[in-house]
Structure 1
Amino acid sequence: MIKKTLHYPISNEQAGLTAEQFLKAKGYSHRLIVCLKHTPMGLSVNGKPAYANRRLSPGEALTVRLPEDEPSGSIVPVQLPLNIVYEDEDLLVINKEAGVPVHPSQGHYTNTLANGLAWYFREKGQPFTCRAVNRLDRDTTGLLLFAKHMLSACILSSQMLNRSIHREYRALVQGKIQKPGTITAPIARKEGSTIERQVDYEKGEAACTHYSPVCYSPRYDLSLISLWLKTGRTHQIRVHLRSVGHPLPGDFLYNPDYRCIARQPLHSFSLAFTHPITGETMKFKAELPEDMASLLQL
């Protein structure tokens, strides 16, 4: 099944490139190009089949027919509420609720975003392959980006690797934070635990978190802060803020203080990236969920 067809006119500046060189410059991975080689009419020039090593000439048109991956058949479609912020034929942005895992795992087979998306696309009569570009913990809320085909996944994953997808988080932390700061402390898995992490200067991987205060709630002694990650270690925000004496309340792993909130108050607030197909700058924001916003009311 063909998911998407793209047409590329060849300019004078692109003349002489092979089809493979041209596509790599557009962000196609080697794996995707190999897949196109094995797809009937995956690559064609002016309507005729073309090899990846074919030299391109000005005025020609290179056509790419993207096949669809095998559907995520192991994901059970379940009708679940989805807060879709944006959707086009290439990608999907969702504002995730608290308590919702992204992917099925032990103990979470039918209540994940992937289950809800499988239902959503089945109702539209479209094949579904789960391609989450970024990740959020089960109890973290906010913006999540999904790719809808192999090329979007390839280009957006590359943007994630080179840190050109910009994400801002908002978190409520205990105590008053009065000025911006940076935490640089390596993080490693805690010995004897499969999920818990800790600052570990001997065995840890480099981790860097930038933060800045937004406002302070004296009633609960909580600071709302903005955060930007230079690295993406597991539980990085939660571990780093605890390490400097400002843990997130309601965090079952690192600070199980549930007096004001029942989960860690961490929110993926904004997302900015380059559209993988059009090249347009995409920017999205998701306001704080009610359980976080209510703690800031005086």
Structure 2
Amino acid sequence: MTLIKKGEWIEETIRQKWKDKTVEHYLKERWNIPRKTLHLYRMEKKVMVNEEVVRWTTHLQEKDNVQLHVYEPEHHNVVTSSIELDVLYEDPHILILNKPIQMDTHPSSNEQTNTLTNGVAAYFQQQDLHTQPRHVHRLDKDTSGAILYTKYPLASALFDQLLADRHIKRTYIALVHGIIRQDKGTIQASIGRDRHHPTRRRVSPSGQHALTNYHVRFRDTKRNQTLVELSLDTGRTHQIRVHMSHLGHPLVGDTLYGGHAIKGQQQALHAVRITFKHAITDKEVAVTAPVSQSLFDPYQSVIKRHILL
């Protein structure tokens, strides 16, 4: 399906599939717009057909042009900061970046201006896009790799739903201490807060359901480390770090969960791939994030051969 950006609007030409459907049916079925957002669009007349405001009971005809007002400027408090961004994928609706280590995803206060979101705010401003940068998911400060942002509120609502329905698949690689003997496995253990530590999580029967799949990619007996590929069926805070520690194989460098400190290095965790069916264009999107953490350097050939396909 072809979408055209026209100033603050996006436009789609109606195909045979939506002929004779009402505007309301089209918006619900084609766009899967959440009820609250749908109500807002109705009240604020943010939908037009052939550049005219019409009743939502109007039946669409093939080759009609439907316009949605999506890029309305927003006031936000995210300070712009000139940060070099590693753009992996971009279209009029979303932006996927390769986040470096030692960088927060978003500010924890108005005074913090060196986060990835501050950099995205500046990037949007350069594009004359005056909307708040919204990350669909987040990565820990010391986790690198692919992270997804949206460019306007409707895209945010649609991709948030995609994530909630587990239709966004995120794949990670990690280096863990010790040699994992089993080639593949699933860790299913609920995760809750550790009442003895303000930021740490722990496996807890009363915690939230959490499931991690792992696949051993390389066993380094010389360094007593295992390179593991992981995918998540849930997205709990510190999930991979908690689960691998629970398995008896904490991440290299992850001192919070039992890993050994590596001088000048952080935890060896990288979001290597993100795949999904685009919530707006319906296209299959698969993006890989090259690994720059030096801890993974000895395994780059394995990563390129078996993971960065």
TM-score of the pair, normalised by structure 2: 0.87
Tell me which of 123, 136, 146 is aligned to 1:143.
146
Aligned to 2:125: 122
TM-superposed CA distance for 1:184, in Å, is: 0.7
The reply on whether 1:237 has 2:236 as its aligned counterpart is: no
Contact 1:2 1:67 survives alignment (8 Å): no
Tell me which of 189, 201, 204 is aligned to 1:200.
204
Residues 297 and 9 of structure 1: is their aligned pair in 2 closer, same or farther, counting only changes over 3 Å?
Answer: closer
Contact 1:269 1:288 survives alignment (8 Å): yes
Aligned to 2:272: 269
Identity over the aligned pairs, expressed in percent?
30
Contact 1:174 1:248 survives alignment (8 Å): yes
Q: Which SS does the other structure have where 2:135 is aligned?
A: coil
User: Hey, what's the Cα distance between the residues in 2 that align with 1:163 and 1:132?
Assistant: 16
Aligned to 1:50: 54
User: Following superposition of structure 1 onto structure 2, how do residues 160-179 of structure 1 map, counting pairs within 5 Å?
Assistant: 160-178=163-181, 179=183
User: Following superposition of structure 1 onto structure 2, how do residues 43-192 of structure 1 map, counting pairs within 5 Å?
Assistant: 43-52=47-56, 54-59=57-62, 61=64, 63-68=66-71, 71=74, 73-106=76-109, 109-178=112-181, 179-192=183-196
TM-superposed CA distance for 1:19, in Å, is: 1.9
User: Hey, what's the Cα distance between the residues in 1 that align with 2:219 and 2:99?
Assistant: 25
Tell me which of 219, 224, 236 is aligned to 1:221.
224
Q: Which SS does the other structure have where 2:11 is aligned?
A: strand
> Which stretches in structure 2 are left out of the alignment for 5+ residues?
1-5, 302-309
Q: Which SS does the other structure have where 1:37 is aligned?
A: helix
Counterpart of 2:226 in structure 1: which amino acid? S
Let me know the Cα RMSD of the aligned residues: 2.4
Contact 2:170 2:231 survives alignment (8 Å): yes
More helix by share: 2
> Which stretches in structure 1 are left out of the alignment for 5+ residues?
none
Counterpart of 1:71 in structure 2: which amino acid? E
Q: Which SS does the other structure have where 1:253 is aligned?
A: helix
Q: Which SS does the other structure have where 1:268 is aligned?
A: strand
Contact 2:272 2:291 survives alignment (8 Å): yes
Per-residue deviation, residues 221-244 of structure 1 (Å, max 9, x unmatched) = 111101011111111100010011
The count of aligned residue pairs is: 294
Contact 2:177 2:259 survives alignment (8 Å): no
Contact 2:73 2:129 survives alignment (8 Å): no
Counterpart of 2:180 in structure 1: which amino acid? I
Which segment is superposed worse, 4-13 or 183-192?
4-13
Contact 1:101 1:108 survives alignment (8 Å): no
Contact 1:252 1:263 survives alignment (8 Å): no
Residues 228 and 51 of structure 1: is their aligned pair in 2 closer, same or farther, counting only changes over 3 Å?
Answer: same
User: Hey, what's the Cα distance between the residues in 2 that align with 1:297 and 1:12?
Assistant: 47
Contact 2:169 2:274 survives alignment (8 Å): yes
TM-superposed CA distance for 1:46, in Å, is: 3.7
Contact 1:101 1:138 survives alignment (8 Å): yes
Contact 1:14 1:22 survives alignment (8 Å): no
Contact 1:39 1:67 survives alignment (8 Å): no
